Every structure is written in C-alpha cells, then in structure tokens.
Structure 1
C-alpha cells in the first residue's frame, strides 16, 4: 500500500507537465506560415482572356508567353525597319506584371549589332506594349500579386 501511494504521488507530480498548454502568439503562427510559402511560384500565372479556357498551369503560362511574343513580333513586322546587314538575334526581355495587370518592360538584353542596325528597338518594343489586350495579374493564395519573368524573342531581319 505504501508503495502504491508513493508511486501514485510520483506519477501525479510528473504527469502535470503534460497538461500544460503551450501558448503561441498570432505573430509566431504567421511567421511559421510564411516559412512554408514558395515565394518563387504562383498559383495562376498572368494571362490574357484567350488563355482562360485552358486548365493546366503550364498551358496557361505558355499561352501567355506565346500571345505576348506574337503581339510584339507582329508589331515589329508591321513597322518599316531598314537594315544594312542581316540580323538574327534573340532579344531577352525582362518584364514585370503588377497586381493590377500593368505590364512593364524592365530590361532588354540586345546584341550590339542589333542596336547598331535598329537603334530604336527598345522604343519599338515599348510601343508594342501599348496596344496589348487586358492582362490579368498572377494569383497567389487568392490574392493578385506582382510577377517578373523573362521572355526570349527571336528577331530575323533580312
């Protein structure tokens, strides 16, 4: 009986720590949530209305990039560009799409020969963006977010 009483008291005293509730603040919970986010990926990429019918994320991304590059190339083809040498170049365009769907050209990587032959290439590209159809911003966790991406465009002028 004596051993049973000592064992029960010992059990009672050591088991109290299991009933303690650890308190966490809302900031701690938020910080843990933020650590789980993949900040380099979005749930839905920016898109045009023509891409809305597509289901998969990769198809929507390809559709957006295809429509954007086609629009820029069509604009450049409609312009009268006179060159003295043939140009076969890949332009690397760095874009940003705001939360409101505003597309901005951040940077253009163009070969020096292309700049020499078409000195206003950056202006032409910027002008082509003025006539784009409505862009729907990217979505992450049901919120519109800013995105940045690069788009290579192949230019051939003969």
Structure 2
C-alpha cells in the first residue's frame, strides 16, 4: 500500500522559498546606470517660463504663452533699432535662445552657412545690445533640477 503525504501550503512555501535568497542584489552603480538610461535627456519636465505664464495649468498653453512672450519681447526690442534700415530686405531672423540653469540668457542670430549678404558680426552686436534687461525667465526643470535649454525662434522684424 502506498502512503500519500500531504504537504500543506505553508510547508511547500518553506521548502521552495530558499530559491529567493539566491538572487543577486544589483549594486548602486548598476541601478544608477539603469535609471540614467531610462531618462529621456532630450525632453524637460517643465519648459522655461515667466511668472505670468506659470498661472496657466495646461502645459501646452503654458509653453505657448512662454514662446509668444519671448518672441514678442525680442521683436519689440529689435524693432527700435537700425536692423530694418541696415538690411531692408531682412524681414525675419532666426535667433538661438539659450536659457541657463541660473536663469541667465544668451541670444545668437542664426544664418545659413553660405550667408555672406549680411554682416553677421554687426547683427550679432545689435542683438546683444538690444536684448539686455530682458525680463526674468525661470529655467526649464528636469527631475526637479534647473537645466540648460536651447531653441531657435523665428523673429519677424517687419510687422506690417
């Protein structure tokens, strides 16, 4: 006659649970590397902003508010200058805007590589002279930390 041995679920757990102790615990460097690889470094959690736009709850509208403010402010500051007189055919200029984590800003005109029609040094100096005293801009945020961001804005110089 055969004996049937019943193993209760608790005993079965005791007999099989030892395998859980054999798993290797990843080191902190491996965990850090895995986490760093999972982060998309080309996107920010929060775009740069100004105080007026931060009141807006919708992220897309807040971003639009910021870019409209930035474009309009640059246009206003450049409209009172000699760019239109020096270069009457120049109606739009691309401006690379860099916002640093400490909220400082840098503006650089962008021209095609083969552009010899414009005195890029003169336009650059006009840009730097006119875009001082820029309103305070809060930097972009990534994982709770202010980060540097760059983008190119087309700025219309001749508004008719």
TM class by smaller structure: 0.7 to 0.9
**TM-score, length basis structure 1:** 0.76
Distance in 2 (CA, whole Å) between partners of 1:142 and 1:104 is 23
5+ unaligned residues in a row in structure 1: which ranges?
5-11
Q: What's the C-alpha RMSD, in Å, of the aligned pairs?
A: 2.9
Cα distance 1:125–1:23, how it changes in 2: closer, same or farther (>3 A)? same
Check the 8 A contact 2:108/2:124 in 1, yes or no.
no
SS state of the match for residue 59, structure 1?
A: helix
2:103 maps to 101
Distance in 2 (CA, whole Å) between partners of 1:65 and 1:154 is 14
2:153 maps to 151
**Larger relative strand fraction:** 1
How many aligned residue pairs are there? Answer: 147
Check the 8 A contact 1:90/1:153 in 2, yes or no.
yes
2:122 maps to 120
Distance in 2 (CA, whole Å) between partners of 1:119 and 1:37 is 38
SS state of the match for residue 91, structure 2?
A: strand
**TM-score, length basis structure 2:** 0.75
